[in-house]
Amino acid sequence: MTDIQIDAADGGTFNAYFARPASGTGPGIVVIQEIFGVNDVMRKTCDDLAKDGYFALCPDLFWRQTPGVQLTDKTEEEWAKAFELMKGFSATRGIEDLIASLDHLRGFEGCTGKVGTIGYCLGGKLAFLMATRSDADCNVSYYGVGIENSLDEANAITKPLLMHVAKKDKFSSPEAQAQIRDVLGKNICVTIHTYPGCDHAFARVGGEHYDREAAELANRRSAAFLAENLRE
CA 49 to chain centre: 13
Q: Alpha-carbon distance 73 to 157, whole Å?
A: 32
Q: Alpha-carbon distance 218 to 22, whole Å?
A: 25
Choose, from 97, 200, 209, 211, the residue flagged as catalytic. 200
Nearest-5° Cα angle at 127, 81 to 49: 90
- Say whether 104 is catalytic: no
3-class SS of residue 165: strand
Choose, from 73, 97, 137, 169, the residue flagged as catalytic. 169
Q: Alpha-carbon distance 174 to 149, whole Å?
A: 14
The answer to whether the beta carbons of residues 40 and 47 sit under 8 Å apart is no
Please give the C-alpha separations between residue 69 and each of 3, 125, 188, in angstroms, as whole numbers: 13, 19, 37
Residue 83 burial by CB count (10 A; 0-12/13-18/19+): exposed, middle or buried? exposed
- Say whether 209 is catalytic: no
b/e string for 84-109 if b means 16 or more Cβ within 10 A?
A: ebeeebebeebbbbbbbbbebbbebe
Contacts of 175 (CB under 8 A, 6+ apart): none
Q: Alpha-carbon distance 34 to 42, whole Å?
A: 8
Hey, which residues are catalytic here? 169, 200
